[in-house]
Amino acid sequence: RTNLLNLINGKNNKEIIFTSGATESNNLALIGICTYYNKLNKQKNHIITSQIEHKCILQTCRFLQTKGFEVTYLKPDTNGLVKLDDIKNSIKDNTIMASFIFVNNEIGVIQDIENIGNLCKEKNILFHTD
């Protein structure tokens, strides 16, 4: 834990959580972040993702919808890319986070993570990628 903490410039060993794999990690990230931010501000309840995310992200988003969260599922272009303008146009005052897969495990498309991340930073919303 200490070595990993140093690698990411962390402050506390409790920041490092080991899980059984990607599905558990993604569930923990999305549900944990949404629950935390929703407790701070009930108005913050919107998530942006795409229609072609990994099954664990889509299932977690559907679960969050049953808990009152709003999810926007963006349709990618014919190559599987999510357009930055579509993300911009989906951001609302109540958006908590955007979640997009970096490299799609089925079609191999690589999302423009750098620009998506910069947009999220500019709009002060959290960005999750896997």
What is the residue-level pLDDT of the chain in tens, covering all 130 positions? 888 888 988 888 888 889 999 999 999 999 999 999 888 877 889 999 999 999 999 999 999 999 999 999 999 999 999 999 999 999 999 999 999 999 998 999 999 999 999 999 999 999 999 8
Q: Is residue 86 part of a domain?
A: yes
Domain containing residue 77: 21-129
* 3-state secondary structure at position 51: coil
The secondary structure of residue 110, as a DSSP letter, is B
Q: Is residue 3 part of a domain?
A: no
Q: Is residue 52 part of a domain?
A: yes
Q: Is residue 9 part of a domain?
A: no
Handedness of CA 109, 53, 125, 77 (dihedral sign): positive
* Residue 6 pLDDT: 87
The pTM score is 0.90
The total of structural domains in the chain comes to 1
Q: Are 70 and 19 spatial neighbours (Cβ–Cβ below 8 Å)?
A: no
The CATH code of the domain that includes 102 is 3.40.640.10
The structure tokens listed for 18 are: 């080991």
* Three-class HEC string of 72-92: EEECCCCCCCCCHHHHHHHCC
* Residue 108 pLDDT: 94
Q: Is residue 84 part of a domain?
A: yes
Q: Is residue 124 part of a domain?
A: yes
Q: Is residue 16 part of a domain?
A: no
* Residue 12 pLDDT: 87
* Residue 40 pLDDT: 87
* Residue 41 pLDDT: 78
Q: Is residue 10 part of a domain?
A: no
**Strand ranges of the sheet holding 95-100, from the earlier edge strand across to the other edge:** 70-74, 46-50, 95-100, 126-129
